Amino acid sequence: MNTFGNIFRLTSFGESHGPAVGGVIDGMPAGITIDMEFIQNELNRRRPGQSAVVTPRKENDEVVFLSGIFEGVTTGTSIGFVIYNANQHSSDYDNMKDLFRPSHADYTYTTKYGIRDHRGGGRSSARETISRCVAGALAKLALKEMNIKITGYTSSVGEISVPGNYMDYDLDLIEKNIVRCPDPVVAEKMEKLILSVKKDGDSIGGTVSCIISNVPAGVGEPVFGKLHAELASAMMSINAAKGFEYGMGFEGCHHRGSQVKDTFINVDGHIRTLTNYSGGIQGGISNGEDIYFKVAFKPVATLLMDLDTVDKDGNEVVLKAKGRHDPCVLPRAVPIVEAMAAIVMLDMILMGKTTIL
């Protein structure tokens, strides 16, 4: 299944070491002006090689649009796009052809399909997420027309977390450091941790937090297309994601209902809530407050150390470390989380237009 979304839909393709990755975006509203600089900048935020804390692979990741845009404006027809692959060291993966890397998808793909492209993880590579960033960038351009803003940041790396919540920070500081953390002091600690993990040939997990602001009340579907269920599905489709929570999340389980109720109040004629434990969503539908959620990412499975495993015939073998990889997925996961959030929001807003005549 390579399509995500109901009305605004991304269908993606591409293996890490094939000729290209790309996709088709369907349902993009007509009449949106394309800001190529903004789109390319979104891809740059995801790009390998952008800083010392990510993989040193150099990939330009330039998107080429093939349809759906005429004289710089979307026409409402489907938007095909490609990003050509380059700087592939496919031979780095020759030793993996017949064996299964631990905690990777090599074994499961082989079981499912009877065949796999072993080079760099093939279809299961996180390189696939470029397509999401392209679709997310287009969605952001449409959402900007409604003044909706999506902001992600690294909220923890290993045991190091930002204290407090998003309202305690100046979110403009996020892009000022290479881990994408709004607290400069914590950011420095995170950076140090990642570099130390990298030196060990190891990897480390963490969390991305994300806020969607200025969403009008009434967006989302009841029962099975709940706004947070769509967000959960979107986030859990990102490589290495292990958990999702919104509003008070897992922490809320410890509390009594009387402690975490969001009292409705009247603020200058607008119905608002005094607190926002609900995370901006009630019954699956936005209530006009900030939507916020958190995604857990495991430490990436690729390690620069020798690993025990088996080959396709079940022989126990040692996988020799090789290649160039991310010691921590978090800094590059931030734009991907934002992109998926943007895709969901635009899709749900478009869906919402169909509920009344």
Residues 324-343 that bind a copy of itself (CB under 8 A): none
Say whether residue 230 binds a copy of itself (CB under 8 A).
yes
State which of residues 55, 151, 177, 203 lies at the interface with a copy of itself (CB under 8 A).
203
Give residues with Cβ within 8 angstroms of 152, minimum separation 6: 174, 180, 208, 209, 210, 211, 334, 335, 337, 338, 341
C-alpha dihedral, 83 to 102 to 195 to 133, nearest 10°: 20
Give residues with Cβ within 8 angstroms of 307, minimum separation 6: 101, 102, 318, 319, 321
Contact region with a copy of itself (CB under 8 A), list: 34-42, 44-52, 176-184, 254-262: 254-262
β-pair type (307-310, 316-319): antiparallel
Distance CA 49, CA 58 (A): 5
Q: Which of residues 23-42 bind a copy of itself (CB under 8 A)?
A: 23-24, 26-27, 29-32
Contact region with a copy of itself (CB under 8 A), list: 45-53, 67-75, 173-181, 182-190: 67-75
State which of residues 49, 102, 166, 188 lies at the interface with a copy of itself (CB under 8 A).
102
Give residues with Cβ within 8 angstroms of 157, minimum separation 6: 179, 190, 193, 194, 204, 205, 206, 328, 330
Contact pattern for a copy of itself over residues 268 through 287, marking x by CB under 8 A? -xxx-x---xxx-xxxxxxx
> Running DSSP on this structure, what letter comes out for residue 88?
-
State which of residues 54, 59, 100, 169 lies at the interface with a copy of itself (CB under 8 A).
100
- Distance of alpha carbon 209 from the chain centroid: 11
Helix (H) or strand (E) holding 43: helix 36-46
CB of 90 to a copy of itself, least distance (A): 12
CB of 203 to a copy of itself, least distance (A): 4
Give residues with Cβ within 8 angstroms of 63, minimum separation 6: 39, 40, 43, 81, 82, 83, 130, 134
CB of 30 to a copy of itself, least distance (A): 4
State which of residues 58, 89, 112, 199 lies at the interface with a copy of itself (CB under 8 A).
112
CB of 213 to a copy of itself, least distance (A): 17
Q: Which of residues 131-190 bind a copy of itself (CB under 8 A)?
A: 142, 145-146, 156, 158-159
Contact region with a copy of itself (CB under 8 A), list: 43-51, 88-96, 180-188, 303-311: 303-311
Q: Which is nearer to a copy of itself, 42 or 245 (CB)?
A: 245
Burial class of residue 324, CB neighbours in 10 A (0-12, 13-18, 19+)? middle
CB of 33 to a copy of itself, least distance (A): 11
Nearest to 104 by CA among 132, 123, 128: 123
| Amino acid (one-letter) located at 19 | P
Burial class of residue 92, CB neighbours in 10 A (0-12, 13-18, 19+)? middle
Contact region with a copy of itself (CB under 8 A), list: 35-43, 162-170, 174-182, 202-210: 202-210
Say whether residue 217 binds a copy of itself (CB under 8 A).
yes
Say whether residue 321 binds a copy of itself (CB under 8 A).
no
CB of 21 to a copy of itself, least distance (A): 7
State which of residues 122, 136, 152, 335 lies at the interface with a copy of itself (CB under 8 A).
122
Q: Which is nearer to a copy of itself, 56 or 76 (CB)?
A: 76
- Asked if residues 356 and 154 have their Cβ atoms less than 8 Å apart, the reply is no
